[in-house]
A and B are shown apart, each in its own frame.
Chain A
Amino acid sequence: MKFAIVINEGPYQHQAADSAYQFAKAALEKGYDIFRIFFYHDGVNNATSLAIPPQDDRNITALWSELAKIHDLDMVVCIAAAQRRGILDENEAKRQGKPCFNIAPGFRISGLGQLIEAGIIADRIITFGD
C-alpha cells in the first residue's frame, strides 16, 4: 500500500497537522510507503523554520523534518499557497527580493501538479483538515 497525505491546516491552530504526523509515523513504522506529503492552504505553515513553540510543547515543523530525514520523505509545499502566506525557499526569496527564506529542512516548494500526481500514483490519498 502506497499512501499520499494532504495537509490543509496550519500547525497549532488545528489538530490536522498533528494527526497527519501521527498517521505518517505509524504508517512508516508498519512498513507502508508514503509517496508524498503535500501541504496546502494554511498547511504550508507547517514548513516554516521561524516558528518558536514553547519549549515544553511539541515542535511540529522539527518533527516533520526529522521524519523526512529518517524515511527520505518527499514533503512538498504548494508554491501559490506558500507565497501568499510567506513561506519561501532560498531561490524564491532571492527572486522576489526578500531578505530571508524560511523553509525548514526536508520540505520543498513545488506546484499543485505534485498534488494531482500524488493522487494518480498513490493507492490512497488521505486528507487531513476540515
Chain B
Amino acid sequence: MSEVKKFMYVNRKAPYGTVYALESLEVVLIGAAFDQDVSLAFVDDGVYQLTKGQATDAIGMKNFSKTYTALGDYEVSKIYIDKDSLEERGLTLDDLQHLVWEDEDDDWNEKDSIRLISRAEMADLFDEQDVVLSF
C-alpha cells in the first residue's frame, strides 16, 4: 500500500441538524493515519462547520468544533473554503476558526491551513484528486 493518492474530503453540510459533518471528521482523523495526500474542502453550508464560537448546549448536541483545530497535528494542512459559499452566507474569514499547522521544513513555523478559493479553482482542485469522498 505504498502508492500515495490524493484524497479530498468534501464537506457540504452544516455541523448540526444531520450527522454528516461529525462523521466526516471521524473519517478524516482515521484517514490521517494512512499517509495519503489529504485536502479538505468546505462548500455550501459546509462552511458553517468552521465557524467560531459554536455553542450547542441549548440543542443538546456534542460540540465537536474544537476538533478542527487538531487537524494540523494530524498533518492535515490543506483546507480549502469556497469563497462564494462563505459570502453567500454573510460570512468572512474572520468568522471562522484560525486553523494552523506547523511546517517541519521551516523550523516548525505555524502556517495558516485555510485557503479561500473561487469556485473555478475548487473545480480544478476536484479534477486533480484520485479519491473524492463527499459528506
Q: Which residues of A contact B (CB under 8 A)?
A: 6, 8, 40-41, 80-81, 111-113, 115-117, 119-121, 125, 127
In the complex, are the beta carbons of B5 and A119 less than 8 A apart?
Answer: yes
In the complex, are the beta carbons of A120 and B5 less than 8 A apart?
Answer: yes
Contact with A along B2-40 (1 / 0, CB 8 A): 010101000000000001100100110011011010000
What total of A-B pairs shows CB separation below 8 Å? 50
In the complex, are the beta carbons of A117 and B131 less than 8 A apart?
Answer: no
In the complex, are the beta carbons of B5 and A41 less than 8 A apart?
Answer: no
Chain A residues whose C-beta falls within 8 Å of the C-beta of B56 in the assembled complex: none
In the complex, are the beta carbons of B3 and A120 less than 8 A apart?
Answer: yes
Question: Chain B at the A interface: mostly helix, strand, loop or mixed?
Answer: mixed
Q: Can you sample 18 A-B contacts with CB below 8 Å?
A: A40-B23, A41-B20, A112-B26, A112-B27, A112-B30, A112-B31, A113-B33, A115-B27, A116-B36, A119-B7, A119-B36, A119-B130, A119-B133, A120-B34, A120-B131, A121-B1, A125-B133, A127-B134
In the complex, are the beta carbons of A116 and B30 less than 8 A apart?
Answer: yes
Shortest Cβ distance from residue B127 to the other chain A in the assembled complex, whole angstroms: 15
Task: Give 7 nearest A-B pairs by CB, closest first.
Answer: A119-B131, A112-B30, A116-B31, A116-B34, A112-B27, A125-B131, A41-B23
In the complex, are the beta carbons of A113 and B1 less than 8 A apart?
Answer: no
Query: Roughly how many angstroms separate A88 CA and B5 CA in the complex, as a whole number?
Result: 32
Query: Roughly how many angstroms separate A92 CA and B114 CA in the complex, as a whole number?
Result: 40
